[in-house]
Chains A and B, each alone.
Chain A
Amino acid sequence: MAKVLMKGNEAMALAAIKGGCDAFFGYPITPQNEVPEYLSYHMEKNDRIFVQAESEVAAINMVYGAAGSGARVLTSSSSPGIALKQEGISYLAGSELPAVIINVMRGGPGLGGIQPSQGDYNQITRGGGNGDYQLLAYAPETLQETVNIVKRSFSLADYYRNPVIIAVDGLIGQMMEPVDLDQKIEEKKSPAKDWAATGEAAKRGKRNKIVSLHLDPYQLEKHNLKLKAKYDEMKENEQQYELINMDHDPSIVFVAYGSMARIARSAIEALKKEGIEVGMIRPICVHPFPEKAFETLPKSVTTLLTLEMSLGQMLQDVQIVNQGRYTLDFFGRAGGVVPESEEIVEKVKTIMKGAAK
Chain B
Amino acid sequence: MEFLDKCLALMKEKGADEGEVSLTHFQKEEMELKAGEISLLRSRDEYYLTLKAIVDKRKASIQINKIDDDSIVEAVTELMRNAENSQADEANEVSDQVQEREFSDFKDNYDPELMYKRLDSFREKVGADYPDLVLEGALLEYQNKYNYYRNTKGVKLSSNYDKYLFYTTFFGRRGEATSSMHGTAIFLENLEGELYELASLPSIMRETVEHLDARVIDEKKFRGDILITPDSLDSFLYSILSHLGNSMLIAGTSYFRGKLNEKVLDEKLTLRTEPVSEYLPVKNYYGGDGIINRNDYIFEKGVLKNYLLDLYGSKKTGLERGPSTGSNLVVEAGDKSLPEMIGSIERGIILGRFSGGHPATNGDFSGVAKNSFYIEDGEIKYPIKETMISGNLFELFQNIVGISRARVNFGFNLFPYIHAREIVVSSR
- Is B a genuine binding partner of A? no
